[in-house]
Amino acid sequence: LGDDDGSVIEEYRTKISEAGMPDEVRGQAERELGRFERMGEQSPESSMIRTYLDWLIAVPWAKRSEEHLDPVDAREVLDADHEGLEDVKDRIVEYLAVRKLRQERGIAEDKRSGAILTLIGPPGTGKTSIGESIARSLGREFVRMSLGGIRDEAEIRGHRRTYIGALPGRLVRALRDAGTMNPVIMLDEVDKVGADWRGDPSSALLEVLDPAQNHSFRDHYLDVELDLSEVVFIATANISETIPGPLLDRMEVIRFDGYTVDEKVAIARGYLWPRQRERNGLREDEVTLDDILLETVITEYTREAGVRQLERELGTILRKTATRIASAQVEPPVVIDGTAVRDALGRQKFFQEAAERTATPGVATGLAVTGTGGDVLFIEATSMRGGNELMLTGQLGDVMKESARIALSYVRAHAGDLGIDESAFEDHSFHLHVPAGAIPKDGPSAGVTMTIALASLLSGRPVMHTVGMTGEVTLQGRVLPVGGLKQKVLAAHAAGLTDVILPERNRPDLDDVPEAVREQMTFHPVMSLREVLDVALEPDPVVLPA
């Protein structure tokens, strides 16, 4: 038995000497090995020490991937895998270019210069998949850590060794899985980290994601310093509001705002269609779909910022086609036509309804932004005799309710200027509704739309059906800037609107809107509600049939 102990200890000693550990870590490993030697194999604590030593040795202390420091080549890899996403690609190329220059000029590595990118945007826009492309373009290993729903701080930092069954945290495990100290680690769904009595994992991430601190990260289990400064961290999230402020402050945020119809067609043609065709056992020459029908699928069967639903619909079309070919109902090659699309996907799911909805005075088209991208809201106003109150429905939050009160106060105070009879307010109640009723809504950006809906109702002038609007309002009638403009404009474009009213101070944000969309739309930057009324309302009142 003693001989067995000796051979185990020698084996550990060899592994420790070959692991390339820093001096401090090696000292800790040798201390633990000394304890193990004194205790012997029969000690109840020996298995815990062996597990600890196994983990210390499993960390790839001296192993690093050899990087491809060629910005041009990296850009080609990124372009081959993803359409658009210029901001992310530029940032990765910049990171590589800086590393290349430092290496060529013999400048020592700065331990505080790690790259920590956070990709925030709607689902299905390619945030997770671009992580793998980034790793390939850098020539590094890729490890994905899903943080959605984790509630225990020990998931990040590990448990202290005093606990039975203690293990290191996910970061140490990620380094072990990667087999190198410089992988690309993706922290997926960082906005969905929970917190409870076991601690707050997002607070544990503060140290990990701070370039000034993460060169000396200390896992509770290993209890030695780990240098994470060479790791490229890429975090993904759907919304930034649920990420704690101190954590968001450490992140370099790149926003994904969804794709235009033209970009979706290009993505479907270059990536989704070939992938689904292969998945369904069909060859390239056996089935074809033209771009016009592809656009029909995008506009009539999906309404999303990303392309996940689009891929599902294309998969359905190809499965039906594969079934027909396999059961000898048709002979390849098969050309997918409109009838085949309707047979596979059923009736049209989404309609452009701005013209019908706004034909009646009291309905205005607003633009909103949600966790799944931009959206078009039809805000409805009506009045009735009796009482003197303002009713609000549609699951509105407090900020939105206050916007509605401001809108009514403004219209009432400026009734004379708007050509509204003062008697329209006397002994009348007003009701504002924002469909869809089941979806909670909040934020100040519907202020302009609510004001226009009330002005339209009381003046009898319908809102022009081509116009969408966004902006916060004040009691003085000033229009204040709002966020998410690019997503709102893309939603307006997808819904068939041609005019967008926006705050003057949001004019610079139009640079973010794709040029193809800008050319097809007219933008009306405004400073005051007076300007909005001139653009948004039809010149003549409409007499409704009794």
Q: Provide the residue-wise pLDDT of the chain in tens; the chain has 546 residues.
A: 455 667 888 898 999 888 889 999 999 999 999 988 888 777 778 888 889 999 999 999 989 888 878 889 889 988 888 887 888 888 888 888 888 888 888 776 666 566 788 898 888 888 888 888 888 888 899 999 988 878 888 888 888 888 888 899 899 999 999 999 999 999 998 888 876 666 678 778 888 888 788 888 898 999 899 988 888 899 999 888 888 888 888 888 888 877 888 888 989 998 899 999 999 989 888 899 888 999 899 988 988 888 899 999 999 999 999 999 999 888 888 888 888 899 998 898 887 665 566 677 888 989 988 766 778 888 899 888 877 788 888 888 888 888 999 999 988 888 877 777 777 778 788 898 988 776 777 788 888 999 999 988 888 888 888 899 999 998 888 999 988 888 899 888 888 888 999 999 999 999 888 888 888 899 999 998 888 888 888 877 765 554
Q: Which amino acid is at 424?
A: A
At the topology level, CATH places domain 354-536 in Ribosomal Protein S5; domain 2 (3.30.230)
Going by their DSSP bridges, the two strands 522-526 and 184-188 should be labelled as unpaired
pLDDT tens, 203-249?
A: 788 888 887 888 888 989 998 999 888 888 999 998 888 888 888 88
Going by their DSSP bridges, the two strands 217-218 and 225-226 should be labelled as antiparallel
- What does the domain layout of the chain look like in residue ranges? 2-58, 71-255, 261-345, 354-536
Query: Which tokens sit at 132?
Result: 């793998």
Q: What pLDDT, on a 0 to 100 scale, did the predictor assign at position 37? A: 87
Q: What pLDDT, on a 0 to 100 scale, did the predictor assign at position 179? A: 93
Beta strands in 290-442 (DSSP E): 334-335, 363-370, 373-385, 390-393, 428-433
**Among residues 89, 264, 486, 488, which one is catalytic?**
488
Q: Which residue in 125, 132, 120 sits closest to 309, CA to CA? A: 125
Crossing angle for the helix pair 46-58 and 23-39, to the nearest 10 degrees: 160
At the topology level, CATH places domain 71-255 in Rossmann fold (3.40.50)
Q: What pLDDT, on a 0 to 100 scale, did the predictor assign at position 1? A: 44
φ and ψ of 287, to 5 deg: -145, 135
Q: What is the pTM of this model?
A: 0.78
Q: What pLDDT, on a 0 to 100 scale, did the predictor assign at position 530? A: 87
Q: Does domain 261-345 have CATH number 3.40.50.620?
A: no
Which H or E element spans position 525?
strand 522-526
Residues 501, 451: Cα–Cα separation, whole Å = 13
**Among residues 65, 137, 445, 456, which one is catalytic?**
445
| Share in percent of the chain as helix, strand, coil (round to 5) | 45, 15, 40
Query: Which tokens sit at 3?
Result: 């001989």
pLDDT tens, 474-511?
A: 888 899 998 888 889 988 888 888 899 999 999 999 98
Query: What contacts 34, CB < 8 A, 6 or more positions away?
Result: none
Residues 404, 33: Cα–Cα separation, whole Å = 71
441 is annotated as an active-site residue: no
Cβ atoms of residues 381 and 457 within 8 Å: yes
Count the residues in the chain.
546
445 is annotated as an active-site residue: yes
Q: What pLDDT, on a 0 to 100 scale, did the predictor assign at position 440? A: 77
Q: Which amino acid is at 471?
A: G
Cβ atoms of residues 518 and 507 within 8 Å: no
DSSP states of 56-68 as a string?
HHHS-TT--PPP-
Query: Looking at residue 528, what DSSP letter applies?
Result: B
Q: Which residue in 170, 168, 164 sits closest to 187, CA to CA? A: 170
Cβ atoms of residues 424 and 505 within 8 Å: no
Going by their DSSP bridges, the two strands 522-526 and 252-255 should be labelled as unpaired
Q: What is the dihedral of CA 78, 79, 83, 84, to 10 degrees?
A: 80
Q: What pLDDT, on a 0 to 100 scale, did the predictor assign at position 85? A: 80
Residues 74, 197: Cα–Cα separation, whole Å = 44
